Structure 1
Amino acid sequence: MTDLTDASWLLAYITLDTTGWPGWLAATWPQILKWTLVLISVALIWFIASLVKFAVQFAGRRLTPKDKEFEGSVWDFSASIARVFAFILMSPLPLGLAGFDWRTLIETRGPGAFSAVIIFVLAILIANSIAKALRRFGEKAHSRAGADDTLIAFSASLIKYIIFAVAIVLALVQLGFPAASLAAVLGAAGLAIGLALQDTLKSVAAGVMLALFRPFRIGDFVTLAGLDGEITNITPFTTSLKQIDNKIVSVTNDKVWGSPLINHTLQPYRRLDMYFSVSYDDDLDHALDVLKNAADGHPNVVSYMNIWTGVHSLDDWSVKLRLRAWTATVDFVQVRADINKAVKQAFDREGIIIPYPHAVEYQIEGKPKKLREGALYDDKPRAYEPPDDEGGD
């Protein structure tokens, strides 16, 4: 029976005349051949294990309902585990070709390795289950009682990472690492990782501050790091927000905490500040009444809060009026659009002119000349631009 612990049975099938080779090459040729076969066997085993994973994924995608996501599902997790186990089951081939006594390795290290794999599998299942259960609890509490689920979502992510860290330590102990030595190694590694990942640790610290002080909640519409969007998730490392065009953006927590943050939906009411321009020839009192009536006539404008109108500024080519009114935060965008439409229609009915910059051209010696922009409804030029060929010394 062929023994995989020795590669000589394969070398017997590969006969090359090495009499004319250099001495060092002829002496090292058996080792070169052996390790080449080891690498080929590892690549072959990885290919077969990947085929196993693909087969499990293919079956899982067929059996997963269309209304559920495949990524992160039990089938997706099972596919990765199947590839790992397939690789482990076929690992005696490269170990035997390399000259290791794989039977002894399995007897001595097999139970520990098997326990480590079981610990990893259980840790992934438990961590994902706890995280999903906490998120579902937070969503139900938010929908039923209006509770803030931001801290719950953050805690779910943090607990998942803690479980993974504990599982790694327990798996290393099962593989034979002494607990005392492992603690020293982890301490030194933690210091090195902390120095190398300072920005990442800043994100974790900032994530803790965001979870504790909660300047925003999941579902709030905010402006942070120069981006607008609805908060969808917060983890120890990043904050995710969905923009108006349904794009998901992830921002590291240190940038969220260190930049100005505007929460548009934290307060139940928002004030509309709207500006409208009218001509200098229009009756300003009448125009202000039209603005106030347009806001007062909207059903979603809060009637018991003061509606204010006034002259904001006297510009070069128009008089700018200002309207202030209050509405519920959820109705802000729609109310602003409705008032813009109502004011434009009311100005048209009342004959109030909304001016705009324009230019007046007139003819001098056969050459058209243009006035500066902003001359409004005048027959007389306000500024004269001399021709290039005119102007005395």
Structure 2
Amino acid sequence: MNDFMNTEIFNGTTIGDIISVEWLAGIAGNVLAAILILIVTLIVAGWAKRRVIGVGERHEHLDDTLFSFLGNITYYAILVFGLVFILNRFGVQTASIIAVIGAMGLAVGLALQGTLSNFAAGVMIIAFRPFKLGDFVVIGGEMGTVKDIAIFTTELATTDNVKIVMPNAEIWGAPITNYSVYPTRRLDLTFGVSYDTDLKKAEEAIRDVIGRDDRIHQEPEPLVKVANLGDSSVDFEVRVWCDSADYLTLKFDLTRAAKEAFDAGGIDIPFPTRTLVQAAE
């Protein structure tokens, strides 16, 4: 065999020399093709990522976080396809590699079921946006302001400034109460007066308090009605509308103002009482 490879065929050139040159040329061609495929793949992946992210940036109603994540997924998916083409160029059987990757992905998926459920819930939260940064919400039994929305977790800050990090799966699978969606809210208050109080006078005192506060909207019209005859008091139901940002402070201020108005008008706020009747012996 060696004698055959060393056989001179033209001006000192042997068959072995020709085979070596052809082999090296083939390797060089494959390397150049791989480099070209890699360059094209990087260009296409970068372009596709920018296009996906740009969709979120051009439309205000779409969440930038979601499209940034989708852009990264698109980028790496194209890189994987480019790698498959490069391996095929060198004669590597990629079918078996893809099968191994698939099996590994299945095993990882089974091991990370909780994490993947948080991931899926995070995508749903970012896509459908039941709340956004800065909203005041009650989710999963926790109340606070939304500070961060990530793929796996959501961060809240409670009213006393305690950080709470919640898994997204627990959020998406539970009722979500968002107090920040609508610009206005209705404030409901109940004021009790004694049974011997002039109800008209009490109602006028309440309406006077409402009328002096500019934070209260006149449309819809404030409601002041007797709603209940309790065990020891006649209860007025008060319903007013205000800006959502004013809700809490308005509640505190109206409660105090009503108490001061009742005191000034001689209107009693009764304490619960019990009458004991002793039978005669």
**For this structure pair, what is the TM-score category when the shorter chain's length is used for normalisation?**
0.5 to 0.7
Cα contact 1:279–1:353 (8 A) shared by 2: yes
Q: What's 1:156 paired with?
A: 68
Separation in 2 of the partners of 1:278 and 1:334?
23
Structure-to-structure mapping, 1:15-94, within 5 angstroms: none
Q: Which runs of 5+ in 1 are unaligned?
A: 1-129, 358-373, 376-380, 386-390
Which residue identity lines up with residue 193 of structure 1 in the other structure?
A: V
Number of residue pairs matched?
A: 225
Cα contact 1:216–1:263 (8 A) shared by 2: yes
CA apart distance, 1:274: 0.7
CA apart distance, 1:166: 8.3
Cα contact 1:239–1:251 (8 A) shared by 2: yes
State, as a whole percentage, how many aligned pairs show the same letter. Answer: 35
Q: What's 1:237 paired with?
A: 152
Deviations 1:154-202 (A, max 9, x none): 443565577689889999x99xx98544422221111122222222222
Check 1:316–1:251 CA distance in 2 against 1; reply closer, same or farther (3 A cut).
Answer: same
Check 1:182–1:242 CA distance in 2 against 1; reply closer, same or farther (3 A cut).
Answer: farther
Separation in 1 of the partners of 2:256 and 2:93?
75
CA apart distance, 1:221: 0.8
Separation in 2 of the partners of 1:148 and 1:240?
22
Which residue identity lines up with residue 258 of structure 1 in the other structure?
A: G
Which residue identity lines up with residue 382 of structure 1 in the other structure?
A: L
Matched, 1:324 2:218: no
**SS in structure 1 at match of 2:177:** strand
Which residue identity lines up with residue 269 of structure 1 in the other structure?
A: T
Q: What's 1:102 paired with?
A: none
Matched, 1:346 2:258: no
CA apart distance, 1:321: 1.4
Q: What's 1:267 paired with?
A: 182
Question: Cα RMSD between the aligned structures?
Answer: 3.5
More strand as a share of residues? 2
Which residue identity lines up with residue 276 of structure 2 in the other structure?
A: R
Check 1:165–1:250 CA distance in 2 against 1; reply closer, same or farther (3 A cut).
Answer: farther
Matched, 1:256 2:171: yes
Deviations 1:39-90 (A, max 9, x none): xxxxxxxxxxxxxxxxxxxxxxxxxxxxxxxxxxxxxxxxxxxxxxxxxxxx
Of 220, 223, 247, the match for 2:162: 247
**Higher RCO, Cα 8 Å, sep 6+:** 2
Check 1:181–1:196 CA distance in 2 against 1; reply closer, same or farther (3 A cut).
Answer: same
Cα contact 1:290–1:347 (8 A) shared by 2: yes
**SS in structure 2 at match of 1:291:** helix
Structure-to-structure mapping, 1:273-288, within 5 angstroms: 273-288=188-203
Q: TM-score, normalised by structure 2?
A: 0.68
Q: Which runs of 5+ in 2 are unaligned?
A: 1-48
Matched, 1:291 2:206: yes
Cα contact 1:278–1:355 (8 A) shared by 2: yes
Which residue identity lines up with residue 231 of structure 2 in the other structure?
A: D
Q: TM-score, normalised by structure 1?
A: 0.50
